[in-house]
Amino acid sequence: MSEQKIKCIGIIMDGNRRWARAHNKPAFEGHNEGYKKLQEVVRWARKAGVPNIAAYAFSTENWERSEEEVGHLMKLFRFVLENEARKMIDEKVRVCFVGDRARFAEDMQKAMVRMEEETAKDFNITLHVAMSYGGRAEILSATNALLAEGKKEITEGDFSKKLWSYPMPDPDLIIRTSGEHRLSGFLPWQSVYSELFFSDAWWPEFQEEEFKNIIDTFNTRERRRGK
């Protein structure tokens, strides 16, 4: 079968905390390593000619984790927002944030907008970061936005334009690491025809060879989309 054009790869970056426990490190070290791995994967995707990566960084349910862990994650996010834009610009990575931004501190919300604007000028790959994201919450948000407009008949196109992810392409494939076989609320509307791949590796240990093998396997699959 000929190689298929991949427009977007979704990634559920699971296993940071388990990696940390296995290496006798605190949970925040796992999240730090997870961020480093995401940077690597963006480079792998660019080499493979993939123009979009959608990464599940922080779910709506993650707010319920311990105050200490959430605090560290906010510190890590704030560091990225305040210090990594220059690196993203130099590497031609556009960054877009997908999720309920209202739950973040006001300075972080402003920093998200700033990073999106600064990285949108010259890029060859887009990283869509799902932060404070939940699929059901996204669908409810889109529904309420359309109801507020007084829509009486809604098309799929109308609905898609109200999603937090718009205009991100639907993921052609989704990879979840750490051996779990579920999507955990990741892009339920957008993933209806995504090919699913599950890796046993914890996210910080995910390797480029496996990434390439997943793409090769994807290219052997016939995607009929119900036809």
Please give the positions annotated as active site.
Answer: 14, 62
Q: DSSP letters of 21-62?
A: HHTT--HHHHHHHHHHHHHHHHHHHHHTT--EEEEEEEESGG
Alpha-helix residue ranges (DSSP H) falling in 84-134 = 85-90, 106-119
Closest CA to 59 of 118, 125, 129, 155: 129
- What is the C-alpha to C-alpha distance for residues 212 and 200, in angstroms, rounded to an integer? 15
Q: State the maximum Cα–Cα separation within the chain, in Å, rounded to a whole number.
A: 56
**Helices and strands in the chain: count of H runs, count of E runs:** 8, 6
3-state secondary structure of 105: coil
* Sign of the alpha-carbon torsion through 194, 200, 124, 188: positive
Match 């892009």 to its residue by tokens: 187
* Contact present, 214 and 175 (Cβ < 8 Å): yes
